[in-house]
Amino acid sequence: MKFGVVVFPGSNCDQDAVDALTLMDQQVVKLWHKDHDLQGCDFIILPGGFSYGDYLRTGAVARFSPIMNEVIAHAKRGGYLMGICNGFQILAEARLVPGVLLRNTSQKYACKNIYLKPQSSDALLTAGLDKPAYKIPIAHGDGRYFVDADTLNELNDNGQVLFRYCDEFGNVGDDSHNPNGSIDHIAGVCNLEKNVFGMMPHPERAADPMLGNTDGRLILEQLLKGALV
Amino acid sequence: MDATESLPTLETARKLGLLPDEFDKIVDILGRQPNFTELSIFSVMWSEHCSYKNSILWLKTLPRDSDRMLAKAGEENAGLVDIGDGLACSFKIESHNHPSALEPYQGAATGVGGINRDIFTMGARPIAQLNSLRFGDLGLPKTRRLLRGVVKGIGDYGNAFGIPTVGGELYFDECYNTNPLVNAFSAGIVETGKVAKATSYGVGNPVFIVGSATGKDGIHGATFASEDITAASTDKLPAVQVGDPFMEKLLLEATLEIIATGHVIGIQDMGAAGIICSTSEMSAKGEHGMIIDLDKVPTRQPNMAPFEILLSESQERMLVVIEKGKEAVIQGIFDKWDLNCAQIGEVTAKGENDLGRLHFYRYGELVADVPAYDLVLGGGAPQYQREYKEPAYIKEFAKFNPDDVDDVTADELTDVAKHLLSHPNICSRRWVYEQYDSMVGTANRSTNAPSDAAVVSVKGPGLPATDKSIVITVDCNSRYVNAEPRKGAMIAVAEACRNIVCSGGEPLAVTNNLNFGNPYVPEVYWQFVEAVQGMGEACRRFSTPVTGGNVSFYNQSSDDGPVFPTPTIGMLGLMEDPAHRMTMNFKNEGDLIYLIGPSSDDIASSEYLYSYRGVKAAPAPYFDFDTEWRVQEGIKTMIRSGWIQSAHDVSDGGLFVALAESAMTGDKGFAIGTDARHRTDAFLFGEGQSRVVVTITPDQVAHLEGYLNDSILPFQYLGQVTAQGFTIEDKQVLTSHEAKALYNTALDTIMN
């Protein structure tokens, strides 16, 4: 499988995504935001960072980048697309996944390890995850996921919730384990067709054994199953 | 030049911060009266901030050389240390104290921006940042406002710029009520063959300004940083700059790309004193001149005066001299990143009587004609020997007798333990560091494995793969330095080394941030002289040369007097082999706890004595260089022999706090005895130096004790790691739950 990591001006987790996938022996290229060529990539990743400085709403400018025309077309064709952190915010702005990302309830940026409980039993990203909780870093100021009540019901009914924040044992529900005030503790969602994935936490930051935590690699490895489809 | 312009007087020079002698010297250098633009140029270039005029003679006494030094102090924008395999680490610390006192958010943010530009202007990609912060009494709303603003400023800038903030220090004392200290550190990696220089030569080579447009912000910021803070200082708000981390990120990528082309002759970031500083320093170094057309500088406002363009401290800008004929290559790269890139002049030859002159034009007229060499540090900028005198308090502090202080009783232990673990100087810094992205770059090896210094893998786009890590820390207990400046500065160096050694690294080199009061006050200058000498002695003995840094004087106000003398040490260490990594957290229940290093009856200047007993007049704690050296060599041997499970140095709060930190980070407890030969308070809470807590599995007793006995290192067996609870002499002082609740939430409780 060939991965493409889009580089927007202000992206700063692009290299981390490349490094994590390279550690997993995957072919991966960077895609420049001004280009219109996905270089034959099967799986597109929108990385974390502060695209265009995020001085407007997070992700609001990046969704109009030239390459987003091709990225959106790729997704509409059923191609795989994943947004991590700022990438998730861009996906939400582009309406490729439901919902919006608001300012954390603490009103502060937060960077720390949190725990995730996999939810959807049929999404590529989570179907094969069997640990009760995965320790993954977050790093964001605008990570509070929000949707209206009807959409929330749809997400739950359709198995579109990928992850919920939880404690180290996988228990969901205590607000003290929800780092940003996300509705229903949601940390990541996918579209109805389940080929576009968005999540605030950073699995690529927990892929290198040198860093003492490889739970993120277990999540990213699920993507490789997409090649078999 | 415009003959109709009335020439400024000595009075104008005074208002710009120049001394009468300095005005005379300027007239002498120019051979005529300066015009206002020229006078402004001299005033910023000869300000303390740019010229180091009151410190340079003493800074020259610091050790500056070792086998690994690729650029000596003052030669380049930052120190450059060979870390092997064709790689070098560029690192530096710099203050943004005065701007942060007035506008904490932008002051701190632009401090982060400035220090990172110093690193990447050398061609090095920053990989990690630290910061050292000092504030006044946290009980004051003003202090909390400053802390909130500074932390948010550092976070918003560093997080968007995308370089992790991996550690730092935070300290409170009322001496910083008016003058907080904000010192930012950055370290970057460059291949030794690809280092860019801050120079200019080659007649006809084009001079470019790149990055942000130039505005009216920060004019005379360098002069401002060279004055005491007064109530009128808020009138100087325009002297504080505004930062744009997004622009900095683009500038980083574009700068590294143009340097990689090999066509760059010289490059320097524009920090203090803006265009005039970069043009004069690069020209003086390369012994050439420049002709600059100020009309070509992209500006934010129309009709900026020549001195405004020259002195503006607008952020995220670089001056670049490239090979003639390669203009299109450079332009193409900046176009790719959507950045300004304007040719504003070219390099000229040196004259018969000078090493190169700077000619600045505005609207076709020559508005300033100055010799570059005479403007800069190491050239014609003034250098002063100031008078100094030991302050009266030093002798008072020396009279301290611990016998006048009651020892703690067994019943008091819980009370002291709670006081220390929840004290703002000791409690968890989580409220601060969680606002910083500490993990971007996937190189921070301390996130899931805490240690006394931060360990960061040497990696980045375009760099060759290596197993090396840099091990970095910032340290200074300014209370010790205030009590005894010479010894306190030595302790700061020793503690930085100890932190690196306890993390598995080898100390290599130092960058310093010398924060002091007004140098014209003899008692303040005495503190400076003593501290520099102590630092020099310690750096020589540890073979950690000083590669550069920053001096910040005038941290003094009419209300509070000078801050504690605060010579912050930023230290770079290297870990060649990942197997040498050592962490501070207790690992296994039943592991044995040892104290390596000497116990004593010393409680001097400890947090316990200062804030629990309320005794503020005391000398610095025990410190003996030879013991320190032997303890550190011993710890290295223990780590590399694989005998120990954890290592954590004893610092603020003493042995008890060191044990508590290792227990809490390891989710364990401890049970120890005390030592009848020493005061209980000194044993548990004293801050005598050269001590490290280590743990071993029981099967290593023979190895460890055999080694310690053979090497005649002072040590003692303390007790065992337990599942939970902090137990001293069979009595539980705190439960783990109580301890964590106090330690983890103390700062949150105050700030939220």
Does the annotation count A154 as an active-site position? no
**Residue for token pair 């964590």:** B740
Q: Do B249 and A213 touch (CB under 8 A)?
A: no
Q: Render pLDDT for B649-708 as a digit per residue (tens, 0 to 9).
A: 999 999 999 999 999 999 999 999 999 999 999 999 999 999 999 999 999 999 999 999
Residue B358 pLDDT level (bands cut at 50, 70, 90): very high
Distance from C-alpha of B652 to C-alpha of B605, rounded to nearest angstrom: 10
Q: Render pLDDT for B417-459 as a digit per residue (tens, 0 to 9).
A: 999 999 999 999 999 999 999 999 999 999 999 999 999 999 9
Among B119, B162, B118, B124, smallest CA distance to B458 is for: B124
Q: What is the mean pLDDT of chain B?
A: 94
Among B280, B317, B282, smallest CA distance to B298 is for: B317
Which ipTM was obtained for this model?
Answer: 0.97
**Angle at the Cα of B644 from the Cα atoms of B682 and A208, rounded to 5 degrees:** 120
Indicate whether B242 pLDDT > 90: no
Q: Render pLDDT for B702-742 as a digit per residue (tens, 0 to 9).
A: 999 999 999 999 999 999 999 999 999 999 999 999 999 99
Distance from C-alpha of B505 to C-alpha of B636, rounded to nearest angstrom: 8
Q: Which chain B residues are Cβ-neighbours of A13 within 8 angstroms?
A: 162, 440
Q: What is the mean pLDDT of chain A?
A: 96
B12: Cβ contacts below 8 Å, ≥ 6 apart: B36, B39
Distance between A197 CA and the closest CA of chain B, angstroms: 21
Q: What is the pLDDT of residue B15?
A: 87
Indicate whether B3 pLDDT > 50: no
Q: Which chain A residues are Cβ-neighbours of B434 within 8 angstroms?
A: 108, 110-112
Q: What is the pLDDT of residue B462?
A: 86
Q: Render pLDDT for B35-83 as a digit per residue (tens, 0 to 9).
A: 999 999 999 999 998 999 999 999 999 999 888 988 776 777 788 999 9
Residue B240 pLDDT level (bands cut at 50, 70, 90): low
Domain architecture of chain A: domains with CATH: 2-227 (3.40.50.880)
Distance from C-alpha of B340 to C-alpha of B561, rounded to nearest angstrom: 44
CB atoms within 10 A of CB B354: 15
From B152, B162, B247, residue closest to A12, measured CB to CB:
B162
Q: Is the pTM of this model over 0.80?
A: yes
Q: Do B245 and A213 touch (CB under 8 A)?
A: no
Q: What is the pLDDT of residue B494?
A: 98
Distance from C-alpha of A4 to C-alpha of A24, rounded to nearest angstrom: 14
Does the annotation count A193 as an active-site position? no
Q: What is the pLDDT of residue B221?
A: 56
Strand partners of residue A189: A161, A198
Q: What is the pLDDT of residue B472?
A: 98
Arithmetic mean of pLDDT, B119-145 = 97
B466: Cβ contacts below 8 Å, ≥ 6 apart: B85, B87, B458, B459
Would you call B404 exposed, middle or buried from its count of C-beta atoms within 10 A (0-12, 13-18, 19+)?
Answer: exposed
Distance between B358 CA and the closest CA of chain A, angstroms: 36
| Topology at the third CATH level for domain B582-751 | Phosphoribosyl-aminoimidazole Synthetase; Chain A, domain 2 (3.90.650)
Give Cα B174 distance to the centre of its chain. 21
Which entry of A13, A41, A85, A166 is annotated as an active-site residue? A85
Q: Are strands B365-371 and B340-348 parallel, antiparallel or unpaired?
A: unpaired
Does the annotation count A85 as an active-site position? yes
Q: Where in chain B is the domain with CATH 3.30.1330.10?
A: 30-232+239-377+394-400+450-581
Sign, Cα dihedral of B192, A14, B435, A58:
positive
Confirm or deny that B241 is annotated as ligand binding. Answer: yes
Distance from C-alpha of B691 to C-alpha of B623, rounded to nearest angstrom: 10
Q: What is the pLDDT of residue A90?
A: 97
Indicate whether B235 pLDDT > 80: no
Give me the architecture of the B30-232+239-377+394-400+450-581 domain, per CATH. Answer: 2-Layer Sandwich (3.30)
Strand partners of residue B509: B572
Indicate whether A18 pLDDT > 70: yes
Instruction: Give the SS3 label for residue B369.
Output: strand
> What stretches of B103-244 show up as alpha helix (H) in DSSP?
104-120, 141-161, 221-224
Q: What is the pLDDT of residue B673?
A: 96
Instruction: Report the interhelical angle of B141-161 vs B245-260 (nearest 10°).
Output: 40
Confirm or deny that B336 is annotated as ligand binding. Answer: no
Residue A56 pLDDT level (bands cut at 50, 70, 90): confident
> What stretches of B344-455 show up as alpha helix (H) in DSSP?
372-375, 392-398, 413-421, 430-433
Among B185, B289, B222, smallest CA distance to B53 is for: B222
Q: Do B449 and A212 touch (CB under 8 A)?
A: yes
Residue A203 pLDDT level (bands cut at 50, 70, 90): very high
Q: Render pLDDT for A134-149 as a digit per residue (tens, 0 to 9).
A: 999 999 999 999 999 9
Residue B228 pLDDT level (bands cut at 50, 70, 90): low
Sign, Cα dihedral of B548, B182, B426, A105:
negative
Among A97, A201, A102, A104, smallest CA distance to A151 is for: A97
Q: Render pLDDT for B610-621 as a digit per residue (tens, 0 to 9).
A: 999 999 999 999
Arithmetic mean of pLDDT, B176-194 = 96
The size of chain B, in residues, is 752
Q: What is the pLDDT of residue B217?
A: 76
Instruction: Report the interhelical angle of B522-541 vs B625-640 (nearest 10°).
Output: 40
Q: What is the pLDDT of residue B271?
A: 79
Give chain A's radius of gyration (CA, Å). 16
Arithmetic mean of pLDDT, A110-115 = 98
CB A99 within 8 A of CB A146: yes
Q: What is the pLDDT of residue B222?
A: 54
Distance from C-alpha of B527 to C-alpha of B533, rounded to nearest angstrom: 10
Q: What is the pLDDT of residue B237?
A: 44
The size of chain A, in residues, is 229
A197: tokens are: 């994935």
Distance in angstroms between the alpha carbons of the first and the last residue of chain B? 59
Indicate whether B1 pLDDT > 70: no
B379: tokens are: 């050239």
Q: Do A213 and B161 touch (CB under 8 A)?
A: no
Residue B220 pLDDT level (bands cut at 50, 70, 90): low
Distance between B22 CA and the closest CA of chain A, angstroms: 44
Between chain A and chain B, the number of residue pairs with CB atoms below 8 A apart is 94
Q: Do B448 and A137 touch (CB under 8 A)?
A: no
